Amino acid sequence: MIDRARLTQLLRNFLSNAVKFTKSGSVTIDAQVGSNADEVVITINDTGVGIPEDKLSAIFEPFEQVESSRAVERSGTGLGLPIAKQLAELMGGSITVKSTEGVGTTFTVVLKLPQTTLARTDKLGAIDISKLQPARILLAEDVMTNRMIFNALLKDCPYTIDEVENGELAVQRALSEDYDLVFLDIQMPVMDGLSALHALKTVDYPKRIIACTANVMKEDIAQYMDAGFDSVIGKPYLKEDLVACIQTAVTRGGFSSTNR
């Protein structure tokens, strides 16, 4: 018995970090039955830059950043790892990490997944691509890995996706070309997502604008909605959430005040 969506979110957190900080070598994931029949042990290993020993104890703390060699594309691991840890603990599990600078990092996730005779309920993978309405999308995201994941999840959908690397470029592109909706990463160099949103709202930009962020606490979402975003998408992305958000934005009625 498992919350498949949350396990997927947990694993994508680790895998996206591993890919982000591994420029050569490999990223591997392995799952085995643990010492008990209802115990699953998942390991995610990368040959990336590693985490300094004196930073290991801090990487699961909210708002802590790894400022040293692991900060390859953007300083810090943000809230992805703390969220992953919370998800594992909510599922009765635990997470440990081992790392050597210049060699790589291994995360081990141990989960208690009891066997069940209940019928399987699978809401994932039920998207009927033929019924999706086409859309032209602008994605503003400075981390290449996140852009790759966004595109990979939506590759079978009837969407055209243009990419820019910061909020300033997003504002320029949004005002010069015709998009159905704009996804703005909150944390970007040059101009962040909130500043880009303000710039677009100042000129009464008419299309839907979505916040992309790992900061998905209730107060964070409220802040982004109060700022003027039409909706908020949490990282790591889930295909079902992305498709639902896009379809809501491009169909009649759009978002209500309670959309997240």
Does a structural domain hold residue 255?
no
Residue 17 in any domain: the answer is yes
54 pLDDT tier (thresholds 50, 70, 90): confident
pLDDT band for 66, please (50, 70, 90 cuts).
Answer: very low
- Assign 123 a pLDDT band (cuts: 50, 70, 90): low
Beta bridge partners of 94: 110
Taking residues 92-118, what's their average pLDDT?
A: 91
The answer on 245 and 135 residing in a single domain is yes
Q: Answer yes or no: do 106 and 193 share one domain.
A: no
Average pLDDT in the 12-33 region?
89
- What is the mean pLDDT of the segment spanning 98-119? 90
- State how many domains the chain has: 2
pLDDT score for 71: 38
Query: Residue 19: its pLDDT value, please?
Result: 86
Cβ atoms 93, 110 nearer than 8 A = yes
Q: What is the pLDDT of residue 253?
A: 53
Average pLDDT in the 173-201 region? 97
Domain that holds residue 186: 130-250
Q: Determine the pLDDT at residue 204.
A: 96
**Res 92: pLDDT:** 87
pLDDT of residue 117: 83
Between 131 and 78, residue with greater pLDDT: 131
- Residue 258 domain-assigned (yes or no): no
Domain annotation covers residue 117: no
- My answer on whether 68 and 179 are in the same domain is no
Q: Which residue among 112, 147, 175 closes a domain?
A: 112
pLDDT band at 151; cut points 50, 70, 90? very high
Residue 258 pLDDT exceeds 90:
no
CB 232 within 8 A of CB 221: yes
**Could you give the CA distance from residue 180 to residue 249 in angstroms, rounded to a whole number?**
8
Paired with 234 in beta bridges are 213
Same domain, 72 and 103: yes
For range 226-253, the mean pLDDT: 88
pTM (predicted TM-score): 0.65
pLDDT of residue 77: 38
Task: Specify if 125 maps to a domain.
Answer: no
Q: What is the pLDDT of residue 68?
A: 38
Residue 159 sits in a domain whose CATH number is 3.40.50.2300
Write the pLDDT tens digit of every residue in 190-204.
999 999 999 999 999
On whether both 105 and 162 belong to a single domain, the answer is no
Interacting residues of 150 by C-beta distance below 8 A, sequence separation 6+: 139, 141, 161, 183, 237, 242
Instruction: State the average pLDDT over residues 135-157.
Output: 93
- State the pLDDT confidence band at 251, using cuts at 50, 70 and 90: confident
